[in-house]
Every structure is written in C-alpha cells, then in structure tokens.
Homo-oligomer: A and B are copies of this chain.
Amino acid sequence: MPQARSRSRPSKSMLGLDAVLAATITLVDELGCEAVSLRRVAQALETGPASLYVYVRDRQELMALVLDHAVADVVVPDEGAGDWRTRLELLVGRIVAALARHNDIASVGLRDALPGRHGLRLTEEMARLLRAGGLDDDACSWAIDLLGQYIYSTALENTGAPHSRRPPAAPSSDTGADTTTDTATDTDPTVPETFTARLDATFRTLPADRYPTLRALAPRLTGGDQDARAAWKLRVIIDGLLAQPPRRPTSDGNDPAAPDPAPGAPSPPDRETHVTPAPVTSRRGALS
C-alpha cells in the first residue's frame, strides 16, 4: 500500500473532484437533475465522459455528492438562537432553503442517496435537538425519518424550475371503459409551463359535482407563500411530536455522556408538555 492519498499532482490539467462537482451543480441548476448526463458534465470540463470515473464511481454517487455539497454551507444555529424548538425550526428551514436553491437536487435524497458528511452532520444536530426537547429514543428516530421526508419533499416542492424538459402529460382515463375525462384536456389558451401551474389548472377545472371539496379548496391548494406553507407544515410536525405520549424515559443499555444540556438554557429532564402542547399559539418558524 503506497499511500492513502497523493500529495501533490500539478500535472498539465488535473481537473479534480471539486471541479467536477462544481460543473455538475451548475448543470443541475440550469437543466435539472434528470437532464444532467456525464457527457454534459465532461463537456463542460472540456474532457471526455470517461475522465469522470476517476473521481466518481457512479452517476448516483456523483449526484449524492452534489446533494451533500448543497447542504454543506448550512450552519447549525447556536445556543443564542433560542430554545430547542426554535433552533430546530431554524435548522430545518435552512436545510430546505439550501436544497431548494439548487433546482430539484432534493429528488436525489428522496430516492437512493445515503447521507453524506454534511447530511450526517445536520441529522446529528436534528437528533440532538429532538432529544433536548425531551423526546424518547423511539420518537427521536421516527421523527428524524419524518423530518427527512418533510425536508426533501418540501425542498422539491419549493423549486421554481421545471422538473423536466417537456411538461408531463396528465393521465386522463384509466381502464378505457370511460368516456369522460376528469383531468383538464388542455383547451386553455395558455398552456402552463411549471408543474405547480399545471397542478393548479387541474384542480381549478375539476367538475364540481364529483369533487366539491377540491374545487372549493382549489385556490388555496397550490397558491400562497411557499415559505409560510413550509413553516406551517413544520410547525404541524413538531406540534404533533410534542403531542405524543412518552413511552419510557430513554431506558437503554448505554448512556453516552449526557446529551449536552445546552448551558444557555437548561433543558428540562422531563418534557413539560405532552398532552397540552403549551403556548403553541404564535411561534414563528422563521424560515431562512
């Protein structure tokens, strides 16, 4: 085994992993995840596609690295930011904002990407804050799961760019034994471009006799401030977490060094509120 890593290699070009990642991120921002091909990345770097396989095993690994790079700049709120809940809402909001800043990169996280270095760093902090909030270990674990789903889904939702080259077609009939088309066949003068606009058009043109509730909610289903919507959903999740009764006070075999009682604000050893969610009235999410 000669060495773990090469010291210095100032050859003629030496594009490097960072350049590959930067070029990929640029392409993701411009074209979206699916349209990013190794050939396009290589072309942006003025090389061939085979050159990328020195730094990256797969296309999946490349996208996973880009995903992790997208959240690399997220800073964890310090103790001065408030109590555990305020800090958690701030942290999650920052993650969502960082992901939404890079087109549909969040779709990588929803599917097949293991957490990278920064993803683990942020997950660790989320788990720490949830534990500081008094949640038992089971609730913490499942809350991590739920928050991850929320983060990726909401970041993908808040993406303004189109998800693919051409707008996806709406499925109209199913088994073929039906004459009416439920979804709007595009007879509108202006064909909406973005996915959200197409979804909005679908809801607005629904037949009111069969879908009375959706028709009544149509203006609200897709519209509104996206940040406010994201903050509201996060508030719902945390309120729901606090409403769960604690099973047992984290009775596990190991006891790894008392999870940092946050010197500025001493965390209560037992949650003060689990049935009545306390002053839940107007805690702002403060997304980004």
Using a CB–CB cutoff of 8 Å, the interface residues on chain A facing chain B are 4-5, 16-18, 57-58, 60-61, 64-65, 68-69, 72, 104, 107, 110-118, 120, 123-124, 127-128, 131, 137-138, 140-146, 149-150, 152-154, 156-157, 163-164, 166, 168-171, 173-176, 178-179, 182-183, 195, 198-199, 202, 206, 208, 210-217, 220-221, 224, 229, 232-233, 235-245, 252, 254, 256-257, 259, 275-277, 280-281
Contact = CB atoms under 8 A, between A and B. Distances in A.
A114 B182 contact: no
A142 to B, nearest CB: 6
Given A111-B107, A173-B117, A168 B214 contact: no
Given A137-B220, A239-B239, 6 more contacts: A18-B176, A64-B168, A110-B153, A114-B170, A118-B174, A236-B244
Nearest 7 interchain pairs by C-beta: A240-B240, A236-B240, A239-B243, A149-B153, A141-B220, A116-B171, A127-B213
Contacts of A244: 232, 235-236, 239, 280
Nearest to A217: B141
A241 B236 contact: yes
27 contacts: A60-B169, A65-B171, A68-B174, A107-B111, A110-B156, A112-B164, A115-B183, A116-B182, A117-B173, A120-B214, A124-B212, A124-B213, A138-B220, A138-B224, A140-B220, A141-B217, A142-B229, A142-B236, A145-B221, A208-B256, A212-B256, A212-B257, A215-B256, A239-B239, A240-B240, A243-B243, A275-B276
